[in-house]
């Protein structure tokens, strides 16, 4: 299922090599003029085409077929399509029988009895994140109008760390600095080292993983809910919807488990008459509710499972063990393009609380 | 809000120092005889009273008031209560005005306009995990009848690691080994070191954090769904409902982000005619769907925010910065009792797919 | 399942002859002082005990065990119980095997495999409407504070019509006139005739049906949503939750199907600068959205299925056709006490749009 | 919002004079071959073009863009579009300011702040029922494969009754008899009289209403749930999603309110070893759960609000009372084409229980 949220609901559909992929967004406020150029810029951050990403190029121009009149939302469900124009299904023919390790092929085969569209990963393709970014890109614009800003950067690739966001982050320029670059890091030297790791992995027919760090600024204190409807859970449901995410942490996250309470606690203080915490190990969330401090989280992406190196697999038809070497076009590191996707789903997660 | 799941819905209510806490579970199959002794044993694993946990002792005996006839589920909503018998509200009087750092006090104050019950943390108290464990304990029994088993252990406390679950885990005895001990570790020597760390933190008026590792065995391949309804997202929504959880990872998790694709990919093979993977970095989930391998995840718990050491805080009434030292009874490490809670919410997360 | 609504969720639990029945309400605003006397008066309107209702008498005093502190909502889930004190299970012993015609016994037997609690109808008992009325009674108070008022009356019993609400109704006193009487009609003469019909049916060991008409005043224009989330559908889901309801119509309802468009259309006019319709055949809803005019609907209740007259039934154990005469205490007309219940669920249906 | 159901979710989007209308269906089983000819026949039953329906003609050929490969469902979200080809927006220009009586224009204007697409009714157009029928038409085929059949007929138009379904209906040919005709009645003489009434209303620039009766055969006993998730409520939420529906009744419905219990109760008997009721006033549902008897319900449609006769309305810009005569193409009776739509939403309502 591809729905999310109570007030804002997003449905994402399509297969990698089908006719079109797209999204239906329900519950959008009426009367909002979408900045199409800005949306286009946002989608380009996710789009393939760069040196460190897959060679499959697509314009990925969204076509709006409902919910928008003269560029302004009508309040009715908004539907946007991206037609698939550059598909080479031949690459994937034999994968129907031979599941690619660490792809969804095998569990999908079991779940759908072999009827799922395997071409290019079908509905499980990372390409499905393009409509997610259309939805998220629109929501980001709406949130910005409310003073809420979301930014992200590559926190780490192949073990090479970028500098981290300051957990007390309050500078919009710093928040968006990485997003404006071709390679979304804060520290360009670190970025160069990451690129080397990616290039060398690609050369070896291999791939690498990475971590994206995301921050949400401007969310007032008191939003979210308790237990199963807490902010962490809402964001988690959205972030784990992104293919390849295997870990998520808020604020100090796993490192908090190694701290003393006296280190990890965020003391309160009045600063210029406003309630602030003097540190932000909580990542802006306590008890599932926003504290008014920046919301900070990190999502871990596994290395691209499609690698050229030969791997062990099975043939589901002949029930034999086989060898598999994957050809075709693939990102050697999905994290490179993932920053925009993480921002998109973060917007989806909090939109219902604010719009 | 405290609901979860499509088919099995769990509502959890109550405040730490109110009349009672409890749970309503809807969608349970009719005709299941709850093993009350087994449920009691499960609840004891979460219950306070041990040397390394809070000194507040409660019987926490669940009282069933609907949905159960002669110990057998009727199919109607099942309601269980735990009456609060041992409350000392006086300890918390001044907290109405002075929020405890890294507790939900302040965001809850904003959200509820100061009307929330602050005594003992109110609805945000870790005590609310007791009814969660009643619900989870019942679901665990029902899952076991279907051949699905969930176990967990303390993976790390204060930086001291236990040995990890074998990701290829298939031995029920090993799965449940830690859960049968007073201190839920696999390696008792590691456990002793953890206890020392906890005792020394407590002595210093401080607290420590930890990590729980959980495994689900027997879930067949092909369960779960895509994108926002993937298994990781479902489990995440459940796990982040537990107070103090700040991080979650599946399989290799954050470590996967530092691996090469060729290291992280789990190759397939037919073993005794069955499809298996030769490693399990995926933690049993690909594309949001179960692979048939053990589901493995780890949840990071921050150190208990209630510490005796003096901290900076604010007085919301006088709008002044103040000092705060928390008295009262508190666990120096919430992770000690958390293993059962993690199993409970894991059961809640997958119950709807299986029952 | 007994949940309802997106923002306000109501869970209702309990069996007629179990330990207690009750409700959990989530999403209530914090800081609202419940007028307990007013709530008690509202519950009395549903309570048994009158001459024309069942002889089973219960105080039905709600006991609040969470979500309320000093009579004021805390914002946490509010739980209220009614303990069952006056149960005579013996009356129902043989019904386990012999389903009562037009009760839920047989379909419940199939659904729950015979494990459902049959005593007094179990979870299907009309008694379960008592906690519904606690939830609705609280929501009614909250809605009134927002200027939204809900009232109802017995529109018809055994074919005897009361006078109808004026569809242009704007007088709060008229709205609540019937609700203040022991027998909730607008026209007391009609009420006397209804009572005669009820008494004569009871004497003959039979029962009669009726219709409740309900109006919602003060709901501003523009609330509700399209298609599956339209106001009619929301109210319908709530009203059909009441046992014995078999029909529902809004505004002119079924009569609209026999009118010409020129008769049924409600023309617009500015009256004192406000947009009004000059008639209200729409019952205050167009396209699923409120028009600002009174919302008017009518719910048809079937005659009480429990009758003393001998009926044909079956023995599910022996698989034989048998005769059945139901003894025990039963309302000869469920509609008499239903007006309050209809108001309660109407409040539940719209609360999420307003609170 | 346009979603429905827990397991099967249907999203419907589009505006009458926009680029396209369409539907996304999630949760469909994989591996089902859609009979496209049969689906086309079903859609024709709803399509405009006949003598008694609007003169706007559209092919309404659905184009599948996801979820279907070689005509077989893949299990991924299925998306179908109908491009709008025959739009004459000029007809509706002035309606932006002058709301049509008994259309959604005014409440939609308030809800969406005037930003909604008013052309042809926009998202509120009856044209939005075309994608509903695509979704329903597919579900009907899937249900038939499970032995569940849904049929309907025009029960009444302008006060002229068709013969009713036998509530004990068990003959598939009778169930589908009306649906195979151009004018969906059981009794063709009654149909002729209805047509006369429609023609005469159209000639007078007026319109008429009607009632559709629908039956579901083959649903086993024991499906559905209690209270807010009862079958009646589920079907009601689906049926009230159809524009122009103002009433709904199950089985004897409103007439049950005028019956004695002894008349209305449906006695049980073993017939050929199976549990049956000897009458079916319950319309196949008791306590929200199916009895195994045919499910029978009737939906009342108001007369088409678009009439040529002059009506009173207002100008929202100038805030003046004005006269309005609607030109353009409109059905004089929406009920004529509604039978297929009712079947479609009935399929949507029960699909999740069965598939």
Rounded Cα–Cα distance for residues C20 and C40 (Å): 18
Q: Does D227 touch chain B (CB under 8 A)?
A: no
What is the least distance, in Å, from the CA of A48 to any CA of chain C? 38
Chain B residues whose beta carbon lies within 8 Å of the beta carbon of residue C65:
13-14, 18-20, 22, 81
Tokens of B96: 């109405």
The confidence score (pLDDT) of residue D172 equals: 96
- Give B303's pLDDT tier (boundaries 50, 70, 90): very high
In C33-146, beta strands by DSSP E: 63-66, 68-69, 72-73, 78-83
- Give B51's pLDDT tier (boundaries 50, 70, 90): low
Rounded Cα–Cα distance for residues D104 and C177 (Å): 32
Rounded Cα–Cα distance for residues C68 and C34 (Å): 9
The predicted-structure confidence for D28-59, as pLDDT tens digits, reads as follows 999 999 999 999 999 999 987 655 555 555 56
Rounded Cα–Cα distance for residues D17 and D127 (Å): 9
Between D256, D275, D303, which is nearest C300 by CB?
A: D256
Rounded Cα–Cα distance for residues B310 and A319 (Å): 65
Instruction: List all residues 6 or more positions away from C169 whose beta carbon is below 8 Å from its beta carbon.
Output: C175, C215, C217, C294, C296
Between C69, C73, C117, which is nearest B74 by CB?
A: C117
Q: Does B147 touch chain A (CB under 8 A)?
A: no
Tokens of D63: 């184009």
Chain D residue with minimal CA distance to A119?
Answer: D69
Are residues D3 and A3, on separate chains, in Cβ contact within 8 Å?
A: yes
- Residue C180's Cβ-count burial label (10 Å; 0-12, 13-18, 19+) is exposed
Mark B5-24 as b/e (b = at least 16 C-beta within 10 Å). bebbbbbbbbbbbbbbbbbb
Q: Does D192 touch chain A (CB under 8 A)?
A: no
Are residues D228 and C2, on separate chains, in Cβ contact within 8 Å?
A: yes
Cβ atoms within 10 Å of C353's Cβ, excluding its own: 20
Q: Determine the average pLDDT of the residues in A77-102.
A: 81
- DSSP lists the bridge partners of residue B13 as B22
pLDDT of B50 over the 60 cut: no
Which run of H or E residues covers position C261? helix C261-264
What is the least distance, in Å, from the CA of C231 to any CA of chain B? 23
- Give B296's pLDDT tier (boundaries 50, 70, 90): very high
The predicted-structure confidence for A12-21, as pLDDT tens digits, reads as follows 999 988 899 9
What is the least distance, in Å, from the CA of B70 to any CA of chain A? 31
Backbone angles phi, psi at D278, to 5 degrees: -85, -15
Between C3, C20, C64, which is nearest B65 by CB?
A: C20
The predicted-structure confidence for B8-20, as pLDDT tens digits, reads as follows 999 999 998 889 9
Are residues C289 and D101, on separate chains, in Cβ contact within 8 Å?
A: no
Chain D contact probe: residue of C211, C261, C331, C347 with most D CBs at under 10 A: C261
pLDDT of D2 over the 60 cut: no
What is the least distance, in Å, from the CA of C346 to any CA of chain A? 21
The predicted-structure confidence for D94-133, as pLDDT tens digits, reads as follows 668 999 999 999 999 999 999 998 888 888 888 999 999 9
- Give B298's pLDDT tier (boundaries 50, 70, 90): very high
Chain D residue with minimal CA distance to A26?
Answer: D1
Between A206, A227, A237, which is nearest B2 by CB?
A: A227
The confidence score (pLDDT) of residue B47 equals: 85
Q: Determine the average pLDDT of the residues in A88-103.
A: 77
Q: Does D93 touch chain A (CB under 8 A)?
A: no
- Residue C41's Cβ-count burial label (10 Å; 0-12, 13-18, 19+) is middle
Q: Does B261 touch chain C (CB under 8 A)?
A: no
Q: Does D284 touch chain C (CB under 8 A)?
A: no
Q: Does A65 touch chain D (CB under 8 A)?
A: yes
Q: Does B128 touch chain A (CB under 8 A)?
A: yes
Residue B151 three-state SS: strand
| Angstrom distances, CA of residue D261 to CA of A1, A119, D264, D295 | 45, 61, 5, 20
The confidence score (pLDDT) of residue C5 equals: 64
Angle at A77 between CA A75 and CA A82, to 5 degrees: 125
Q: Does A76 touch chain C (CB under 8 A)?
A: yes
Q: Which residue has the tokens 């470590």?
A: B255
pLDDT of D329 over the 80 cut: no
Contact between B348 and B135 under an 8 Å Cβ cutoff? The reply is yes
Q: Which residues of chain C have pLDDT under 50?
A: none
Tokens of C354: 């307003």
Tokens of C326: 């139901």
Between A6, A76, A226, which is nearest C6 by CB?
A: A6
Rounded Cα–Cα distance for residues D355 and D343 (Å): 17
Residue D299 three-state SS: strand
The DSSP string of B154-189 is EEEETTEEPPPPPTT---HHHHHHGGGSSS--SSHH
Chain B touching partners, 3 or more CB pairs below 8 A: A, C, D
What is the least distance, in Å, from the CA of D7 to any CA of chain A? 9
Chain A with chain D: Cβ pairs closer than 8 A: 153
Are residues B66 and C122, on separate chains, in Cβ contact within 8 Å?
A: no
Are residues A11 and D31, on separate chains, in Cβ contact within 8 Å?
A: no
Between A123, A229, A287, which is nearest B226 by CB?
A: A123
What is the least distance, in Å, from the CA of D228 to any CA of chain A? 18
Rounded Cα–Cα distance for residues C4 and C10 (Å): 6
- Give D85's pLDDT tier (boundaries 50, 70, 90): confident
Chain D residue with minimal CA distance to C208?
Answer: D260
Query: If we measure between CA atoms, which residue out of A16, A119, A97, A98 comes closest to residue A310?
Result: A98
Q: Which residue has the tokens 């063990």?
A: A321
Chain B residues whose beta carbon lies within 8 Å of the beta carbon of residue D7:
6
The predicted-structure confidence for A265-293, as pLDDT tens digits, reads as follows 999 999 999 999 999 999 999 999 999 99
What is the least distance, in Å, from the CA of D225 to any CA of chain B? 9
The confidence score (pLDDT) of residue C135 equals: 97
Q: What is this structure's pTM?
A: 0.96
Contact between C62 and C81 under an 8 Å Cβ cutoff? The reply is yes
The predicted-structure confidence for B245-294, as pLDDT tens digits, reads as follows 999 999 999 999 999 999 999 999 999 999 999 999 999 999 999 999 99
Are residues B67 and C22, on separate chains, in Cβ contact within 8 Å?
A: no
Chain B residue with minimal CA distance to C116?
Answer: B74
pLDDT of A51 over the 90 cut: no
| Torsion angle in degrees (nearest 10) through CA of C333, D251, C345, D129 | -160
Chain C residue with minimal CA distance to A27?
Answer: C225
The predicted-structure confidence for A175-196, as pLDDT tens digits, reads as follows 999 999 999 999 999 999 999 9
The confidence score (pLDDT) of residue C267 equals: 98
Q: Does A67 touch chain D (CB under 8 A)?
A: yes
What is the least distance, in Å, from the CA of A12 to any CA of chain B? 9
Percentage of chain A lying above the pLDDT 90 cut = 82
CA–chain centroid gap for D78, Å, is 21
Tokens of C315: 């023995």
The pLDDT mean for chain A works out to: 92
What is the least distance, in Å, from the CA of A124 to any CA of chain B? 7
Contact between C113 and B28 under an 8 Å Cβ cutoff? The reply is no
What is the least distance, in Å, from the CA of A84 to any CA of chain B? 20
The confidence score (pLDDT) of residue A50 equals: 58
Residue B327: DSSP 8-state: -
Chain D residue with minimal CA distance to C251?
Answer: D246
The confidence score (pLDDT) of residue B331 equals: 86
Chain D residues whose beta carbon lies within 8 Å of the beta carbon of residue A142:
none
If phi over 0 gives left and psi between -120 and 50 gives alpha, with beta otherwise, what is residue D197? alpha
Least confident of A214-223, B119-128, C343-352, D289-298: B119-128
pLDDT of B196 over the 60 cut: yes
B63-66: strand order across its sheet = B9-14, B20-26, B78-83, B63-66
| Angstrom distances, CA of residue B283 to CA of A36, B253, D135 | 40, 8, 36
pLDDT of D214 over the 90 cut: yes
CA–chain centroid gap for A267, Å, is 32
Instruction: List all residues 6 or more positions away from D290 whose beta carbon is below 8 Å from its beta carbon.
Output: C107, D219, D220, D221, D222, D223, D224, D231, D284
Are residues B278 and A305, on separate chains, in Cβ contact within 8 Å?
A: no
Chain B residue with minimal CA distance to A99?
Answer: B268
The confidence score (pLDDT) of residue B48 equals: 74
Q: Which residue has the tokens 């507040």?
A: B56
pLDDT of D279 over the 70 cut: yes
Are residues C257 and D301, on separate chains, in Cβ contact within 8 Å?
A: yes
Are residues D273 and C237, on separate chains, in Cβ contact within 8 Å?
A: no
Chain C contact probe: residue of D265, D272, D279, D338 with most C CBs at under 10 A: D265
What is the least distance, in Å, from the CA of A56 to any CA of chain D? 20
Q: Does B243 touch chain C (CB under 8 A)?
A: no
In A169-293, beta strands by DSSP E: 210-217, 245-250, 268-271, 274-277, 285-286, 289-290
Q: Does A161 touch chain B (CB under 8 A)?
A: no
pLDDT of A56 over the 60 cut: no
pLDDT of B168 over the 80 cut: yes
Residue C64 three-state SS: strand
Q: Determine the average pLDDT of the residues in B310-330.
A: 91
């Amino acid at each position: 299922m591809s729905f999310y949220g109570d007030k804002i609901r997003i449905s994402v559909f399509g297969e990698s090599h089908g006719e079109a992929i797209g999204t239906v967004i329900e519950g959008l406020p009426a009367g909002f003029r979408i900045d199409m150029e800005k949306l286009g810029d946002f989608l380009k951050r996710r789009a393939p085409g760069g040196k460190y990403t897959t060679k499959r190029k697509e314009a990925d121009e969204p076509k709006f077929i409902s919910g928008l009149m003269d560029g302004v939302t009508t309040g009715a469900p908004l539907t946007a399509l991206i037609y698939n124009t550059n598909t080479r299904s031949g690459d994937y023919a034999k994968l129907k029988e031979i599941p690619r390790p660490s792809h969804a092929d095998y569990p999908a085969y079991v779940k759908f009895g072999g009827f799922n569209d395997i071409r290019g990963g079908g509905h499980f393709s990372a390409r499905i994140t393009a409509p997610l970014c259309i939805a998220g890109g629109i929501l980001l614009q709406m949130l910005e109008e409310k003073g809420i800003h979301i930014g992200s950067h590559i926190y780490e690739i192949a073990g090479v760390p970028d500098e981290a966001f300051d957990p007390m982050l309050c500078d919009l320029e710093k928040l968006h600095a990485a997003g404006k670059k071709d390679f979304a890091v804060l520290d360009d030297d670190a970025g160069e080292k990451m690129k080397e790791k990616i290039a060398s992995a690609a050369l070896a027919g291999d791939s690498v993983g990475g971590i994206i760090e995301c921050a949400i600024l401007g969310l007032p204190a008191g939003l979210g809910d308790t237990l199963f409807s807490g902010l962490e859970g809402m964001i988690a449901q959205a972030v784990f919807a992104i293919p390849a995410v295997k870990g998520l942490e808020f604020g100090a996250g796993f490192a908090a488990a190694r701290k003393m309470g006296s280190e990890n606690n965020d003391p309160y203080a009045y600063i210029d008459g406003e309630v602030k915490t003097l540190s932000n190990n909580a990542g802006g969330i306590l008890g599932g509710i926003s504290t008014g401090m920046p919301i900070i989280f990190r999502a871990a992406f596994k290395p691209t499972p499609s690698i050229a190196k030969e791997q062990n697999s099975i043939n589901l038809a002949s029930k034999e063990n086989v060898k598999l070497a994957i050809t075709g076009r693939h990102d050697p590191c999905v994290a490179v393009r993932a920053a925009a996707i993480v921002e998109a789903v973060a917007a989806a997660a909090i939109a219902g609380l604010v719009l």
